[in-house]
Amino acid sequence: AQSVTQLGSHVSVSEGALVLLRCNYSSSVPPYLFWYVQYPNQGLQLLLKYTTGATLVKGINGFEAEFKKSETSFHLTKPSAHMSDAAEYFCAVRINNNDMRFGAGTRLTVKP
C-alpha cells in the first residue's frame, strides 16, 4: 500500500525564518510526488511536483523540495518565510494513473 505521512500537523515560524515541512511516503513503485497549498476557504494549488529526473524540484513562491529515495522523503523548504505563506500544505503521492493519496496536512503559521 502506498501512503503519505506528514510530520507535524502544525508548524509555526517567524517571518524571515526557514520553513521546513516534512513528508515521508511509502511506495512500491517509483513515486510521483506533489506538494499542494490550500489557503482558507479555497481549493488546492500545486506548489511543485517530482516525476523523474532532478531530485531537487523548485516550485512557485520560492518553495522547493528534494526527493530522497533512500529516506523515502520529500520535504518542502523555503529559505525565508513571508506572512503570505500562512496556509495548509499537503503532500501527495500518485499511486496510479487515477488516484492520489494525500497526507493529513500541515498548517503553517508565520509570526511577525
Partner 1 sequence: NAGVTQTPKFQVLKTGQSMTLQCAQDMNHEYMSWYRQDPGMGLRLIHYSVGAGITDQGEVPNGYNVSRSTTEDFPLRLLSAAPSQTSVYFCASRAGGGEQFFGPGTRLTVL
Site residues (vs partner 1, CB under 8 A): 4, 9, 41-46, 49, 51, 90, 92, 97-105
Question: Looking at beta carbons only, is 74 or 90 nearer to partner 1?
Answer: 90
Q: Are strands 106-111 and 10-14 parallel, antiparallel or unpaired?
A: parallel
Per the rule left: phi > 0, alpha: psi between -120 and 50, beta: everything else, 105 is left
Nearer to partner 1, 70 or 98 (CB): 98
- Least distance to partner 1 from the beta carbon of 110, Å? 21
Amino acid at 103: G
Smaller CB distance to partner 1: residue 20 or 46? Answer: 46
Instruction: Evaluate whether 85 touches 110 at the Cβ level (below 8 Å).
Output: yes
Closest contact distance (angstroms) between CB of 65 and partner 1 is 16
